[in-house]
Structure 1
Amino acid sequence: MTRHIFSAKATIPTTMEKMLAYHAHPRALQRLTPLPVVVQMIRDTRTSPQAGEVEFVLWFGPIPTRWHVRHEAGPIETSFADRMLSGPMKYWHHQHIFREADGGIALTDQIEYEYLDKGFWALFGRAALAPVMLRILFAYRHWQTRRGTAIKSA
Protein backbone atom coordinates (compact mmCIF):
# COMPACT_ATOMS: atom_id res chain seq x y z
CA MET A 1 0.00 0.00 0.00
CA THR A 2 0.91 3.65 -0.25
CA ARG A 3 1.61 6.22 2.40
CA HIS A 4 -0.36 9.42 2.06
CA ILE A 5 0.34 12.97 3.26
CA PHE A 6 -2.37 15.28 4.56
CA SER A 7 -1.63 18.88 5.54
CA ALA A 8 -3.87 21.58 6.99
CA LYS A 9 -2.66 25.11 7.77
CA ALA A 10 -4.20 28.08 9.55
CA THR A 11 -3.03 31.30 11.14
CA ILE A 12 -4.52 31.57 14.60
CA PRO A 13 -4.70 35.07 16.18
CA THR A 14 -3.09 34.13 19.48
CA THR A 15 0.26 33.94 21.25
CA MET A 16 2.70 31.04 21.24
CA GLU A 17 2.20 30.70 25.00
CA LYS A 18 -1.56 30.25 24.60
CA MET A 19 -1.15 27.87 21.66
CA LEU A 20 1.27 25.61 23.51
CA ALA A 21 -0.84 25.66 26.68
CA TYR A 22 -3.98 24.78 24.73
CA HIS A 23 -2.36 21.71 23.19
CA ALA A 24 -0.75 20.68 26.51
CA HIS A 25 -4.12 20.58 28.30
CA PRO A 26 -5.10 17.03 29.39
CA ARG A 27 -8.46 17.36 27.58
CA ALA A 28 -7.03 18.77 24.32
CA LEU A 29 -8.07 15.71 22.31
CA GLN A 30 -11.64 15.89 23.60
CA ARG A 31 -11.80 19.62 22.82
CA LEU A 32 -10.57 19.02 19.27
CA THR A 33 -12.83 16.07 18.43
CA PRO A 34 -16.21 16.92 16.90
CA LEU A 35 -19.44 15.21 17.84
CA PRO A 36 -20.77 12.65 17.15
CA VAL A 37 -17.32 11.14 17.78
CA VAL A 38 -16.70 10.69 21.52
CA VAL A 39 -13.25 10.33 23.11
CA GLN A 40 -12.81 7.87 25.99
CA MET A 41 -9.39 8.11 27.65
CA ILE A 42 -7.95 4.79 28.82
CA ARG A 43 -4.41 5.76 29.88
CA ASP A 44 -2.41 8.97 29.62
CA THR A 45 1.26 9.02 30.68
CA ARG A 46 2.17 12.28 28.94
CA THR A 47 4.46 14.56 30.88
CA SER A 48 4.27 17.14 28.06
CA PRO A 49 2.95 17.22 24.49
CA GLN A 50 6.43 15.97 23.48
CA ALA A 51 6.72 13.00 25.82
CA GLY A 52 4.56 10.08 26.90
CA GLU A 53 1.91 7.74 25.62
CA VAL A 54 -1.87 7.89 25.36
CA GLU A 55 -4.39 5.09 24.92
CA PHE A 56 -7.92 6.10 24.02
CA VAL A 57 -11.05 4.95 22.25
CA LEU A 58 -12.77 7.04 19.60
CA TRP A 59 -16.43 6.08 19.51
CA PHE A 60 -17.88 6.57 16.03
CA GLY A 61 -21.45 5.99 17.21
CA PRO A 62 -21.51 2.35 18.36
CA ILE A 63 -18.12 1.54 16.78
CA PRO A 64 -15.15 1.74 19.19
CA THR A 65 -11.74 2.41 17.62
CA ARG A 66 -8.88 1.96 20.06
CA TRP A 67 -5.70 4.00 19.54
CA HIS A 68 -2.34 3.83 21.31
CA VAL A 69 -0.04 6.74 20.43
CA ARG A 70 3.37 7.97 21.54
CA HIS A 71 3.93 11.71 21.86
CA GLU A 72 7.38 12.87 20.83
CA ALA A 73 9.32 15.95 19.79
CA GLY A 74 8.41 17.46 16.44
CA PRO A 75 10.70 18.95 13.79
CA ILE A 76 11.11 22.31 15.60
CA GLU A 77 11.13 23.37 19.25
CA THR A 78 7.53 24.65 19.10
CA SER A 79 6.05 21.43 17.76
CA PHE A 80 5.20 17.90 18.76
CA ALA A 81 4.13 14.71 17.06
CA ASP A 82 1.96 11.73 17.85
CA ARG A 83 2.88 8.39 16.34
CA MET A 84 0.37 5.53 16.36
CA LEU A 85 1.72 2.39 18.01
CA SER A 86 -1.52 0.47 17.48
CA GLY A 87 -4.90 1.36 16.09
CA PRO A 88 -7.10 1.36 13.01
CA MET A 89 -4.36 2.36 10.56
CA LYS A 90 -1.24 0.65 9.26
CA TYR A 91 0.74 3.87 9.89
CA TRP A 92 -0.10 7.27 11.42
CA HIS A 93 2.36 10.07 12.23
CA HIS A 94 0.81 13.47 13.00
CA GLN A 95 3.01 16.55 13.41
CA HIS A 96 1.61 19.66 15.12
CA ILE A 97 3.88 22.59 14.13
CA PHE A 98 3.55 26.11 15.55
CA ARG A 99 5.48 29.10 14.14
CA GLU A 100 5.31 32.82 14.87
CA ALA A 101 3.59 34.61 11.96
CA ASP A 102 2.04 37.94 11.04
CA GLY A 103 -1.33 37.96 12.75
CA GLY A 104 -0.56 35.26 15.31
CA ILE A 105 0.65 31.69 15.15
CA ALA A 106 0.90 29.64 11.96
CA LEU A 107 -0.46 26.19 12.80
CA THR A 108 0.41 23.30 10.51
CA ASP A 109 -1.02 19.83 11.01
CA GLN A 110 0.81 17.33 8.83
CA ILE A 111 -0.11 13.66 8.82
CA GLU A 112 1.64 10.82 7.08
CA TYR A 113 -0.66 7.81 7.08
CA GLU A 114 -1.30 4.44 5.51
CA TYR A 115 -4.51 2.41 5.52
CA LEU A 116 -4.61 -1.23 6.55
CA ASP A 117 -4.63 -3.67 3.63
CA LYS A 118 -7.78 -5.68 4.31
CA GLY A 119 -10.61 -6.40 6.69
CA PHE A 120 -13.16 -4.28 8.51
CA TRP A 121 -10.64 -1.75 9.86
CA ALA A 122 -9.19 -1.23 6.38
CA LEU A 123 -12.65 -0.27 5.09
CA PHE A 124 -13.43 1.74 8.21
CA GLY A 125 -10.17 3.69 8.01
CA ARG A 126 -10.73 4.52 4.36
CA ALA A 127 -14.21 5.85 5.19
CA ALA A 128 -13.64 7.60 8.54
CA LEU A 129 -10.19 8.97 7.69
CA ALA A 130 -10.59 9.65 3.97
CA PRO A 131 -9.01 12.92 2.75
CA VAL A 132 -12.39 14.71 2.65
CA MET A 133 -13.08 13.61 6.25
CA LEU A 134 -9.63 14.83 7.34
CA ARG A 135 -10.32 18.23 5.72
CA ILE A 136 -13.59 18.51 7.66
CA LEU A 137 -11.96 17.33 10.89
CA PHE A 138 -9.09 19.81 10.67
CA ALA A 139 -11.37 22.72 9.71
CA TYR A 140 -13.22 21.95 12.95
CA ARG A 141 -9.99 21.58 14.94
CA HIS A 142 -8.62 24.89 13.70
CA TRP A 143 -11.95 26.60 14.50
CA GLN A 144 -11.86 25.13 18.03
CA THR A 145 -8.23 26.19 18.42
CA ARG A 146 -9.19 29.77 17.46
CA ARG A 147 -11.96 29.72 20.06
CA GLY A 148 -9.81 28.13 22.75
CA THR A 149 -6.80 30.42 22.33
CA ALA A 150 -8.59 33.71 21.66
CA ILE A 151 -6.94 36.79 23.10
CA LYS A 152 -9.52 38.53 25.21
CA SER A 153 -9.51 42.33 24.91
CA ALA A 154 -9.54 44.41 28.08
Structure 2
Amino acid sequence: MKFKRSFRVSAPLDEVRQFHQDSKSLAAITPPPVVVRVRRAPESLQDGAEMDFTLWLGPLPIRWVACIEDVSQAGFTDRQRRGPFSAWVHRHSFLALDDHTTEVVDEITARLSLNPLKWIAGASMWVTLPVLFAYRAWKTRRMLERTG
Protein backbone atom coordinates (compact mmCIF):
# COMPACT_ATOMS: atom_id res chain seq x y z
CA MET A 1 0.00 0.00 0.00
CA LYS A 2 1.20 3.52 -0.73
CA PHE A 3 0.17 6.92 0.58
CA LYS A 4 1.50 10.36 -0.36
CA ARG A 5 0.57 13.79 0.96
CA SER A 6 2.24 17.17 0.47
CA PHE A 7 1.56 20.67 1.70
CA ARG A 8 3.24 24.06 1.80
CA VAL A 9 4.05 26.02 4.91
CA SER A 10 5.09 29.67 5.03
CA ALA A 11 8.27 29.09 7.01
CA PRO A 12 11.96 28.63 6.11
CA LEU A 13 13.25 25.13 5.34
CA ASP A 14 15.50 24.92 8.42
CA GLU A 15 12.66 25.82 10.76
CA VAL A 16 10.31 23.26 9.19
CA ARG A 17 12.97 20.54 9.22
CA GLN A 18 13.90 21.21 12.86
CA PHE A 19 10.23 21.16 13.87
CA HIS A 20 9.69 17.75 12.26
CA GLN A 21 12.92 16.34 13.68
CA ASP A 22 11.89 17.25 17.24
CA SER A 23 10.23 14.24 18.91
CA LYS A 24 7.92 16.58 20.88
CA SER A 25 6.31 17.62 17.59
CA LEU A 26 4.83 14.14 17.08
CA ALA A 27 2.35 14.59 19.93
CA ALA A 28 1.70 18.22 18.97
CA ILE A 29 0.61 17.36 15.41
CA THR A 30 -1.39 14.21 16.24
CA PRO A 31 -5.14 14.84 16.16
CA PRO A 32 -7.44 14.10 19.04
CA PRO A 33 -8.75 11.63 20.10
CA VAL A 34 -5.40 9.88 19.45
CA VAL A 35 -2.91 10.35 22.27
CA VAL A 36 0.83 9.82 21.78
CA ARG A 37 3.07 8.89 24.68
CA VAL A 38 6.75 8.96 23.77
CA ARG A 39 8.59 6.31 25.76
CA ARG A 40 12.05 6.94 24.33
CA ALA A 41 13.29 9.35 21.69
CA PRO A 42 16.68 10.63 20.57
CA GLU A 43 17.62 14.20 21.41
CA SER A 44 18.48 14.69 17.75
CA LEU A 45 17.62 12.58 14.75
CA GLN A 46 20.48 10.64 13.29
CA ASP A 47 20.81 7.44 11.31
CA GLY A 48 20.16 4.42 13.52
CA ALA A 49 18.33 6.31 16.28
CA GLU A 50 15.11 4.75 17.55
CA MET A 51 11.84 6.25 18.70
CA ASP A 52 9.64 4.17 20.99
CA PHE A 53 6.10 5.41 21.56
CA THR A 54 2.55 4.30 22.24
CA LEU A 55 -0.42 5.55 20.25
CA TRP A 56 -3.63 5.40 22.23
CA LEU A 57 -6.69 4.97 20.02
CA GLY A 58 -9.29 5.39 22.75
CA PRO A 59 -8.58 2.58 25.23
CA LEU A 60 -6.46 0.65 22.70
CA PRO A 61 -2.66 1.06 23.12
CA ILE A 62 -0.54 0.51 20.00
CA ARG A 63 3.17 0.20 20.74
CA TRP A 64 5.42 1.45 17.95
CA VAL A 65 9.20 1.40 17.59
CA ALA A 66 10.67 3.22 14.59
CA CYS A 67 14.27 3.30 13.38
CA ILE A 68 15.44 6.58 11.85
CA GLU A 69 17.33 6.38 8.54
CA ASP A 70 18.62 8.56 5.71
CA VAL A 71 18.78 11.76 7.79
CA SER A 72 19.77 14.77 5.69
CA GLN A 73 18.87 18.41 5.09
CA ALA A 74 16.22 17.12 2.67
CA GLY A 75 14.46 14.92 5.25
CA PHE A 76 14.54 11.57 6.99
CA THR A 77 12.89 8.15 6.96
CA ASP A 78 11.30 6.25 9.81
CA ARG A 79 10.99 2.48 9.43
CA GLN A 80 8.75 0.54 11.80
CA ARG A 81 10.63 -2.09 13.81
CA ARG A 82 7.65 -2.93 16.01
CA GLY A 83 4.03 -1.99 15.48
CA PRO A 84 0.74 -2.89 13.84
CA PHE A 85 2.09 -3.30 10.28
CA SER A 86 4.27 -6.07 8.90
CA ALA A 87 6.14 -3.26 7.11
CA TRP A 88 5.97 0.56 7.32
CA VAL A 89 8.40 3.02 5.75
CA HIS A 90 7.65 6.74 6.05
CA ARG A 91 9.80 9.26 4.17
CA HIS A 92 9.58 12.87 5.39
CA SER A 93 10.93 15.27 2.72
CA PHE A 94 11.39 19.03 2.89
CA LEU A 95 11.92 21.28 -0.13
CA ALA A 96 12.58 25.02 0.00
CA LEU A 97 10.37 26.72 -2.58
CA ASP A 98 11.84 30.10 -1.64
CA ASP A 99 13.43 31.65 1.47
CA HIS A 100 10.12 31.66 3.34
CA THR A 101 8.14 28.74 1.91
CA THR A 102 8.74 25.02 2.34
CA GLU A 103 6.99 22.04 0.82
CA VAL A 104 6.57 19.07 3.15
CA VAL A 105 6.08 15.68 1.50
CA ASP A 106 5.12 12.52 3.39
CA GLU A 107 5.38 9.22 1.51
CA ILE A 108 4.41 5.97 3.20
CA THR A 109 4.74 2.42 1.96
CA ALA A 110 3.16 -0.21 4.20
CA ARG A 111 2.00 -3.79 4.34
CA LEU A 112 -0.71 -5.06 6.69
CA SER A 113 0.17 -7.76 9.21
CA LEU A 114 -1.24 -11.27 8.89
CA ASN A 115 -1.90 -11.25 12.65
CA PRO A 116 -5.68 -10.61 12.92
CA LEU A 117 -5.48 -8.04 15.74
CA LYS A 118 -2.58 -6.18 14.13
CA TRP A 119 -4.38 -6.35 10.76
CA ILE A 120 -7.45 -4.65 12.29
CA ALA A 121 -5.29 -2.00 14.00
CA GLY A 122 -3.22 -1.38 10.86
CA ALA A 123 -6.22 -1.26 8.51
CA SER A 124 -8.02 1.12 10.89
CA MET A 125 -4.99 3.39 10.97
CA TRP A 126 -4.45 3.21 7.20
CA VAL A 127 -7.96 4.40 6.30
CA THR A 128 -7.57 7.41 8.61
CA LEU A 129 -4.27 8.60 7.05
CA PRO A 130 -5.91 11.30 4.86
CA VAL A 131 -7.52 12.87 7.95
CA LEU A 132 -4.37 12.45 10.05
CA PHE A 133 -2.16 14.16 7.48
CA ALA A 134 -4.67 16.94 6.78
CA TYR A 135 -4.62 17.67 10.52
CA ARG A 136 -0.82 17.54 10.60
CA ALA A 137 -0.63 20.04 7.73
CA TRP A 138 -3.07 22.40 9.45
CA LYS A 139 -1.33 22.10 12.83
CA THR A 140 2.16 22.52 11.34
CA ARG A 141 1.07 25.70 9.57
CA ARG A 142 -0.58 26.97 12.72
CA MET A 143 2.54 26.36 14.81
CA LEU A 144 5.13 27.64 12.32
CA GLU A 145 3.57 30.37 10.23
CA ARG A 146 4.01 33.90 11.46
CA THR A 147 0.97 36.13 11.57
CA GLY A 148 0.92 39.86 10.94
TM-score (norm. length: structure 1): 0.87
Partner Cα distance (1:117, 1:8) in 2: 26
Q: For residue 7 of structure 2, what is the amino acid of its counterpart?
A: A
Task: Give secondary structure in 1 for the equivalent of 2:137.
Answer: helix
Q: Residues 86-125 of structure 1: matches in 2 within 5 Å?
A: 86-101=82-97, 104-125=101-122
The correspondence for 1:139, drawn from 123, 128, 134, is 134
Partner Cα distance (1:26, 1:126) in 2: 25
Partner Cα distance (1:98, 1:63) in 2: 32
Q: Residues 1-154 of structure 1: matches in 2 within 5 Å?
A: 4-48=1-45, 51-73=48-70, 77-101=73-97, 104-130=101-127, 133-153=128-148
Deviation at 1:42, TM superposition (A): 1.3
Deviation at 1:84, TM superposition (A): 0.3
| Residues 91 and 46 of structure 1: CA distance in aligned 2, closer, same or farther (over 3 Å) | farther
Deviation at 1:26, TM superposition (A): 3.1
Partner Cα distance (1:144, 1:8) in 2: 15
User: How many residues in Structure 1 have an aligned counterpart in Structure 2?
Assistant: 147
Deviation at 1:83, TM superposition (A): 0.5
> For structure 2, which runs of at least 5 residues remain unmatched after alignment?
none
* 8 A Cα contact 1:46 1:54, kept in partner: no
Partner Cα distance (2:7, 2:51) in 1: 26
> For structure 1, which runs of at least 5 residues remain unmatched after alignment?
none
Deviation at 1:24, TM superposition (A): 2.4
Q: Deviations over 1:29-60 (max 9, x none)?
A: 10111111111111113532655101110000
Task: Give secondary structure in 1 for the equivalent of 2:85.
Answer: coil
Partner Cα distance (1:21, 1:148) in 2: 13
